[in-house]
Amino acid sequence: MIAELSNCRIIKLPNYFYTMVYKVIGLMSGSSLDGLDVAHVQLEEVRGKWSYEILHAECMPYSDKWAEDLRRAADVHVSDFLKLHTRYGRYLGERVNEFIEKYNLGHNVHFIASHGHTVFHEPQHATTGQIGDGAAIAAVTGLPVISDLRAMDVALGGQGAPIVPIGDRLLFGEFDYLLNIGGIANITVQASAVAFDVCPANQILNGLAEREGKTMDEGGAMAAQGILLPDVLDRLNSAGYYKQQPPKSLSNETARDLVFPKLLEAEHSVYDMLHTVVHHIADQVANAVQQYPHGKEQAKLLATGGGAFNTFLMMEIEKALAPYNVTVVVPDANVVKYKEALVMALIGTLRWREEVNVLSSVTGASRDSVGGALWLG
């Protein structure tokens, strides 16, 4: 199962150009808690130009127990927290081993880049915490592992988020805006080298859907049947966070606190609350674009993450962006679902090469950094 690092091939091309090829497994667990995203990707670099191919990918659903353990991780006693950290690391390693066996990837993985699962994020106190012990992953898989991808940036005074803009720049440079709609929606503005968390998203929509006995509002069908609650929408849009200038980021708890109290102040149907939250997300995406105009006749926004499959949400975002001459592009399903895992693989690869993988222009850190702890399996 251990891949020789010499397998990172150097291919000689005409005119003495060289290409570096890396086969990496990227791991991502988001705030929506729908499961562990595992992506086996091939990354190629030729004279600073990067390209990618997603070779194999899947979302491994969490059991109810794991989802609850991760949801409550920040509230447990320190000894239980540390044990959860290592237990979750072993869990990640076991899932990677299953993935490698399923797709017959022995000797085709150079290393693993693991984001872990964020359970604590207070950059104002120079602290962030993603569980999933990298040493445990390395011990279980026998592969090199790069983890703790946000810690260096936070230590340098940054927000530690978003960290995907380096991937947006190197892999998706043809788009003016890149919107990822996961548990929290975040956006990258290429021209301004700015990125930030926009607003709560799927974790709120999924939480409301659970009240109807569903894990999610499939395609936004329930939201589409609801009606707008104008007073609630006004209160949601008036939150102080939306007036802050980047760099800024949301923890899972802060994101929930922005929305749920205002939704639950009065009795409303789940359908109407879903409908109103969809409009809230669309309003805040439009607000983000308005703050950073593209100055072109027509611009393109790439939409990824689970929210890109929410037909009603995407329709409302398209309507909200139409006055700003921004076209919304939804790529193929693999990129929609696994873009973040892909970017984690790239961030890990840059760390392996000892190159900058977190941008201070995005996070507000004192300098760009090479983030990630390396564990040799």
pLDDT of residue 12: 55
DSSP 369: B
Could you tell me the residue ranges of all domains in the chain?
A: 5-160+340-375, 165-335
Q: Could you tell me which CATH class the domain 165-335 is placed in?
A: alpha beta
Is 347's pLDDT higher than 90? yes
Given this chain, do its domains 5-160+340-375 and 165-335 carry the same CATH topology? yes
Higher pLDDT, 32 or 73: 73
Please report the pLDDT score of residue 11 as a whole number.
52
Amino acid letter at 19?
A: T
The proportion of the chain whose per-residue pLDDT surpasses 70, expressed as a percent, equals 95
pLDDT in tens, 78-113: 999 999 999 999 999 999 999 999 999 999 999 999
Residues 313-318: contacts with CB under 8 Å, at least 24 apart: 313/181, 313/205, 313/220, 313/223, 313/278, 313/281, 313/282, 315/220, 316/278, 316/279, 316/281, 316/282, 317/179, 317/281, 317/282, 317/285, 317/286
What tens digit of pLDDT does each residue of 182-198 get? 989 999 999 998 999 99
Architecture per CATH, domain 5-160+340-375, reads as 2-Layer Sandwich (3.30)
Q: 241 by DSSP, 3-state: which?
A: helix
